[in-house]
Homo-oligomer: A and B are copies of this chain.
Amino acid sequence: MMGYEQLWLDYTRKASCGEAEGIEYICVRISDTEQDALIQNSVKELQDAFEGLVGSRPTLRRDNGAGTGAALSGSTGRHGICLALREGMGAESYHLFSEKGDIVIEASDSRGILYGTFDLIRQMKMEEPLFTLDRTKAPLMPMRMLNHWDNMDGSIERGYSGESFFFADHQILVNDRTRDYARLAASVGINAVVINNVNVKDAATWLITDRYLDKVKELSEVFAGYGIRLYMSLNYAAPVELGELDSADPLSDQVGAWWNQKMKTVFGRVPNLGGFLIKADSEGRPGPFTYGRTHADGANMLARAVAPYGGIIIWRCFVYNCMQDWRDYKTDRARSGYDNFMGLDGSFLDNVILQIKNGPMDFQVREPVHPLFGGLTKTNQMLEVQIAQEYTGQQRHLCYLLPMFQEILQFRTYVKEGDDTVRDIVSGRTFGQHNCGMAAVVNTGNDENWTGHDMAAANWYGFGRLCFEPELSAEEIAREWIRVTYGNDDQVEEILMFLLMSSWPAYESYTSPLGIGWMVTPNNHYGPSVDGYEYSRWGTYHRADHEGIGVDRSHEGTGYALLYREPNASVYDNKDKCPDELLLFFHHIPYTWKLRSGKTVIQHIYDSHFEGVEIVDEMAEQFMKLQGKLPDRAYERMAARFREQKEHAREWRDQINAYFYRKSGILDERERKIY
C-alpha cells in the first residue's frame, strides 16, 4: 500500500493556539455502559490532535457520568475538555461551549460527541479562540452520503486518483487507510457510505454472499466507530445472477421470499448495515421493467425485505432511453427521469428514498435543477451530486463545486409556500420527512493525496460540511478547508481562495457554452469534442447548425420546460426570460441573438472562451507564488496540474471557437485568433 497524507486531519503542523496549550486533560462524563467506539475514537482523536498541534497529550479522566453536572475542573485551576451526554438534543447534534475553565462537548448521542470533537479540532487548526466558543450544531440533512464507484478488481469507475482502497483482487480491504478514510469522512459529517459501484454487477451481486459477509461486517464496524453506516450497491437481478432463481420479478412470492431470507442473513451477519443503493433499468442494468413491473414494485419488494432491520433502499432515478436515435427530435432524455417517476409519487414505502441527480442530464458543468424536485410531494428524496469530476476536468482541472451545489440547494421549486427550496426538500423540512439528504459520487483512491488534484479535496471536505451546515457559504467552506489543510498564512489563504472561487466559472467559460453541456470526448469524457455525442444514441445533443444552436425544450419543442412549477416553467419556456446560462438548454437560438448580457450568442461564445483561458492563466500565475509556502510535494503535484489545465483550456477554447466560427462564418468582433 502506498503512503498517504492526512489532509485536513494532518496534526503534524503546529498550530498557534495559545489557549489550547493550557488543556491538560480530557474528562469523559459518560458512564461506562454508555461509552462506545465513537466515544473512544473521540477521545483518541482529541489526544492525537493535541499531541500533534499543541505538543502535549491530554490525560484521560473518567467521570463515569456520576458527576453532579458541575465541571470538575473549576476548582483546580487546570483546564480540560469534557465530553458529556445530555438528554433533549437532536440526533447527531452537539453543543460546544466553555464552562468553568473547561471546554465542554455535550450531545444526546455519541455521534454528536464525535462531531463536536471534530469541530473543536477544526477551531484549533484555524487558531480560533476556544474558551469563548458557544455553538450548537445540528446537521440539517439526515442522510449525508458518499457513493463510491469502486469495483472489486480494485479499479474505480471514473476514478482519477488511483485505485480503490476498499477492494483489491476481489477482496475487501480493511486496514489503517480504511480507518483514516472513516475519520476524514466523519470529521466533515458524512454518516453513510456506499462502498461499491452501482454499475458493475460483480460486487453488487457477490457482496451479499457468504464469501464476503465477514469482511463486510469488519468494515462496517470500522465505519460505525465513526458514525458511518455502510451501504452497498445491489444488483437487482442478484437472485438470477447467483443462479438461485430464474426470475427477479418483484411481484413473485418466490422472489420476495428469496430476498426476505437473504436480508435476514445479511443483516444478521452485518447488523450495522445501512441498506442498499440500486441502479435499475438504467443504461443496460436489470430491473423490474424486465418483468413488466414498476420501479415502485421493485423498490418496495426490497424495502419490505430490509425493513425489519431498519434498512433503507435508495433507488436511483437516472433512468432514460440510452438507445435514442439522434434523428429523433421529439424524445428528450431530460424528460425521462420525470416521466419515469412522477406517476409513482406516493407509491414508495417509507424506507425507500429516490436518489435524484442534481440535473436532468448527467453532472454537466451547468444544468437546470431536476424537475422531480418540486414535482414529487409524497416521496422521500435525496439529491445526488458528483464530486468525482467526470465532466468538470477529472481532477486535472481545478473545479471547486460548492458554489454549484449551493445554487442547486437554493433553487426555489415553488412546491408550496415557503420551505420550497431543494435544500428544504432534502432536509425533510418541506414534507416533514426523515429519510432524505444528499449523496455525492466520489472517487477518492489510493493516491498519496486521495483526490488526484490536491485541491479537489476541497470538494470532498466541502460536500460534508455543506450537508451538515448548509447555511455555510461556498466561500466560508473554502476558507475553512484552506486553513485546516494548509494553515493560517494570509497569502496562502488569499491565493487559494482566488483559485477555488474562480475555478467553476472558469471551467464553464472555456467548455460548452450557455448550459448546452456535453461536447466532450465520448466514453472518457475528458477534453473537447463538440460533435462527440451529437450523432450518438445517448440523447445528448446540441443541434448546432449554421444559424444557431440549442435544444428546443419549450412548449413548442419537447415540453420539458413545462415540467417545472410556475413561475419557473414560464421563465424557462420563454427565450426572453430564460437565464443566459441555461438558454441553450431550453431553446434553439440564432448565433446573432442578443443575450441578456447584451452580447450576441456567438460573441459570447468567443468572449467567454478567451476569458476562460485568461482566468486560468491568472490562476496558474497566482498559484506559482505559493512555492515554498505549500508543502513541496503538494506544490509540485498542483503545479503540474495547473500546467496541464493551462494547455488544455486552450485546446477547449480553440476547438470550440473554431467549431462555431467554421459553422457560423461570423467573425470575432475583437479579431482574435480563431483557427
The interface of chain A, by Cβ under 8 A from chain B, is 326-327, 528-532, 535, 544-547, 651, 654-655, 658-659, 661-665, 675
Contacts and interface: CB of A to CB of B under 8 A. Distances in A.
A651 B655 CA distance: 25
A547 B547 CA distance: 13
A663 B661 CA distance: 10
B535 A327 contact: no
Contacts of A545: 661-663, 665
14 contacts: A327-B658, A327-B675, A529-B532, A529-B535, A530-B531, A531-B659, A535-B659, A544-B662, A545-B662, A545-B665, A546-B546, A546-B662, A546-B663, A546-B665
A546 B665 CA distance: 6
B654 A327 contact: yes
A530 B529 CA distance: 11
Question: Among the interface residues A531, A532, A658, which one has the most CB atoms of the partner chain B within 10 A?
Answer: A531
Contacts of A529: 531-532, 535
A521 to B, nearest CB: 8
B326 A675 contact: yes
Contact of A663 (B326, B651, B662): B662
A-B pairs, top 5 by smallest CB distance, nearest first, are: A545-B662, A546-B665, A327-B675, A531-B531, A535-B655
A326 B530 CA distance: 15
Contacts of A664: 546
Given A535-B654, A535-B655, A662-B663, 15 more contacts: A327-B654, A327-B658, A528-B535, A529-B532, A530-B531, A531-B531, A535-B658, A535-B659, A545-B662, A545-B665, A546-B546, A546-B662, A546-B663, A546-B665, A547-B665
By DSSP majority rule, is chain A's interface helix, strand, loop, or mixed?
loop
A659 B327 CA distance: 12
| Integer count of this chain's copies in the complex | 2
A544 B663 CA distance: 8
Contacts of A658: 327, 535
A546 B547 CA distance: 10
A662 B327 CA distance: 13
A665 B655 CA distance: 21
A574 to B, nearest CB: 26
A31 B547 CA distance: 82
Contacts of A326: 675
Contacts of A655: 535
Nearest to A544: B662
A674 to B, nearest CB: 10
A652 to B, nearest CB: 10
Nearest to A673: B327
A327 B647 CA distance: 14
A10 to B, nearest CB: 40
Contacts of A665: 545-547
A546 B663 CA distance: 5
A575 B199 CA distance: 54
Contacts of A675: 326-327
A326 B665 CA distance: 19
A102 B327 CA distance: 67
A672 to B, nearest CB: 13
A328 to B, nearest CB: 9
A237 to B, nearest CB: 28
Nearest to A665: B546
Contacts of A547: 665
A675 B543 CA distance: 10
Contacts of A654: 327, 535
A661 B544 CA distance: 11
Nearest to A328: B675
A156 to B, nearest CB: 22
Nearest to A545: B662
A61 to B, nearest CB: 64
A230 B529 CA distance: 44
A530 B675 CA distance: 18
A448 B662 CA distance: 48
A51 to B, nearest CB: 50
Nearest to A535: B655
A544 B528 CA distance: 18
A664 B665 CA distance: 10
Contacts of A531: 529-531, 659
Question: Among the interface residues A530, A532, A535, which one has the most CB atoms of the partner chain B within 10 A?
Answer: A535
A432 to B, nearest CB: 49
A546 B664 CA distance: 6
Nearest to A543: B662
Contacts of A535: 528-529, 651, 654-655, 658-659
A5 to B, nearest CB: 34
A25 to B, nearest CB: 62
A512 B547 CA distance: 24
